[in-house]
Structure 1
């Protein structure tokens, strides 16, 4: 219970809890707080070992997400999660650490802390494929350092990027004014019990859904979308309530939005709908997301071409298009025949294998890249297997001295070389055929699971299946690491501010991982 529900360990010393235990089990002696603390520490060590073994056992690539956070006790933490696709094509996600930070949060330090977390679990550096992070300059620098040192791909959180895109696109003065008026309207009903009660009455009278108003928050742009859509839904009950002199003072009638503001917000909600849909989908944790980014970005750009009547919303559309292009041009275009990891992931997702979001020339280029990756992967596997065979042979066969004549004449290995070349040519042709067959198939329905499809077709496309596991494991957002700090409602709330940073890490680790290990 302490772990699953994030309860205070000191709860066992509370009088109310003691009385409850005594009621259910008279005569039972409740163990001390120290006892439960040691139990938690022991459980952490055991679960840590299980996770380390699971990460060692997988042969597949691993992606990381990271995010920084400060507790109510002003203690800074770095959260790191890992993600990989199992041999059974299940998407696995685990918390690695909620690491207390005592030094400056420089890019160099953050890179070193991420490396330390990976090394603690004895994950080979070559097994990590990517790090997903927000757009903070220090974290971006850390990701770039790791990319240069280890080849880990730097992937910026799409949720954070969408936040930047929408915030900048909403800066039109008339939009800002209308949204400000909307917030004042919501705040009035949130703070007035009389107005809120009357609104419920009007909702019933008018047959409007009895929904509460939504107050937006600055850190979640889509909360603004939800605020606006709820106001539009409740427009007439709101207006009727504000028009009632028994409820609203004459000086408060200004709270109702003007007709042109209602029109503006109606069009703005329609323009924001595509971005809200993309935000929700890409923030998912239980399904493949990174492969959807390129087609979704193309879809978002297409949505900005919709023409609206109000000039402010037209300006929003233009700004949203410009910001989307500026932030994601690298992820959705191909430069120098070098597609991004997101495009490769989309290509290996059977839902998007036709690559309709690319030009014909780009489709050809990315197909060649996937083929090259498959061929290189095959060569790497052959080299690894040969190295193991050579080591085994060296152990079994004693060293023999080579005669002077043998040394002068050399070894005629033409036949063996020819056999090896023939085998490699046949292997390459098989992979090329595999790639052509894959791209020749019809795309999977957008509602179906790409991992389920790969599970059924792995034997048919073995080389591409291996590549798919390496790319489709990457999350599109750093949401998993953000959730480390909000799991079960604030791990280190004011009541838990007395927890040591080490125990915060243990509690978070167990809460996130225990049910999966």
Structure 2
């Protein structure tokens, strides 16, 4: 009997088993839908196209002579194996999801997302994703396991651990104390592990900071006296005092961060009045091109016309190392597109003419960039974690001292060089000569 349509339902006579995997489209006449992949096929009373689709897209059927029937010997068994999620596979998939949460720093609410659940069901039919509370418990177990492994590893590094510590404030103005340990593992690879990022709710007194560092050592079962070679820290007065307290209590050596010290040298030397004024002008210019949509669009147009790299102007931030150098470098790169943009009355009206920098200010910034470049290179090098930096400090200090002897035409930059040389002598030279504990 011929197969016929019946109000969107499957034909009454279904001599071919392919109808287990196809259905008549309820919206389009003469169309069937594959229930495995939702693909639509034309249907003209023959199952040949459907069977061919299963062979090509779902290679699970074979032809049975000329009547085009499926061999049930392979089809159900294939689908059964593919849709069944074994306990072993479910456990491995759950571990993989947990790893995604940890490695990619995703929120636990990820597993409750509708799209995420749909994706998992599509990738592994039959798998029921555990709840966020299950993942929370597993995360706590994984943390404890990792903590115990780290304690054992640190035990093997007696007197070979170095700590770095820093008190910092987030964008949300929340204060934290970070403590990181550094050591060389059995494969002679440098390892850096953040031991804690502690929210600071009490006053940041030297005594409190010293106590917080002691708590970290106690939590991870290592001795500040016997296991820690030195603690590297910034130049904040309360932190310096805290490390003196720890030295008195535990005999642990401390070392000021050479990168932070270098930035203090640069910041002090940049206080020359004419340099300050030129930096202020550059800062205003960069700020304007960050706040004006019209200026941004016009600058892009000028960059295209002049064949200049389409970079945005950089702004300096007081707490970001080398940011003044990067602001100057980018502004000099974009000098002519910026100047051309400022001459456009649609961008700058009469009230904005103060943004035009004078020729002597451009010349000053050109020389200042050259003077700052050695300090930028030194800071970037000192910020590295894949190599030891403390042993390079003596020759690096000499290189910086030599760089301050470069002769410039600009009097303000010459003043900067003189001030930087004096700061190097009072800060970095003393720091370099204090490395007698190594």
Q: Report TM bin, short chain.
A: 0.7 to 0.9
Which of residues 252, 258, 261 in structure 2 aligns to 1:161? 261
Quote the residue 1:183 is aligned against. 283
CA distance in 2 between counterparts of 1:37 and 1:165 reads: 47
Distance change in 2, residues 1:72/1:220 (3 Å): closer
* Contact 1:129 1:151 survives alignment (8 Å): no
Q: How does 1:66-465 map to 2 (within 5 A)?
A: 66-71=165-170, 76-124=175-223, 125-333=225-433, 340-341=434-435
- The residue number in structure 1 matching 2:128 is 29
| Equivalenced residues, count | 338
Change (3 A) 1:55 1:8: same
User: How far apart are residue 49 of structure 1 and its match?
Assistant: 0.9
Relative distance call for 1:94 and 1:181 in structure 2 (3 A) is: same
C-alpha separation in 1, matches of 2:415 and 2:172: 43
Which protein shows a greater Rg? 2
Flag the 1:41–1:90 CA change in 2: closer, same or farther, 3 A: same
Secondary structure of 1:186's partner? Answer: helix
TM-score when scaled to structure 1?
0.62
Deviations 1:195-232 (A, max 9, x none): 22222222232222222211111102411101101111
Determine helix, strand or coil for the equivalent of 1:67. Answer: strand
User: Could you tell me how far apart the structure 2 residues matched to 1:237 and 1:10 are?
Assistant: 47
For residues 28-47 of structure 1, what are the structure 2 equivalents within 5 Å? 28-47=127-146
How far apart, in 2, do the equivalents of 1:70 and 1:117 lie?
Answer: 19
Structure 2 residue matching 1:280: 3-state secondary structure? helix
CA 1:220/1:102 → structure 2, altered by over 3 Å: closer, same or farther? Answer: closer
Q: Aligned partners of 2:350 and 2:215: how far apart in 1?
A: 64
1:134–1:156 CA contact under 8 A, matched in 2: yes
* Distance in 2 of aligned mates of 1:76 and 1:185: 32
Q: Does 1:53 align with 2:130?
A: no
Q: Does the aligned pair in 1 maintain the 2:159–2:229 contact within 8 Å?
A: no
Q: Which has the higher contact order (CA 8 A, sep 6+)?
A: 1
Q: CA 1:105–1:252 in 2, change beyond 3 Å: closer, same or farther?
A: closer
* CA RMSD, 1 decimal: 2.1
Asked if the contact 1:166/1:221 (under 8 Å) is kept, the reply is no
Q: How big is the shift at 1:246?
A: 4.0
CA deviation vs aligned residue, 1:369-395 (integer Å, no higher than 9, x gap): xxxxxxxxxxxxxxxxxxxxxxxxxxx
Alpha carbons of structure 1 residues 320 and 71: separation in structure 2 relative to 1, 3 Å: closer
Unaligned runs of 5+ in 1: 334-339, 345-470, 472-517
For residues 204 and 378 of structure 2, the distance between their equivalents in structure 1, rounded to whole angstroms, comes to: 31
Q: Distance in 2 between matches of 1:73 and 1:56?
A: 37
Paired residue secondary structure (2:103) = coil
| Structure with higher helix content | 1
TM-score between the two structures when normalised by the length of structure 2:
0.72
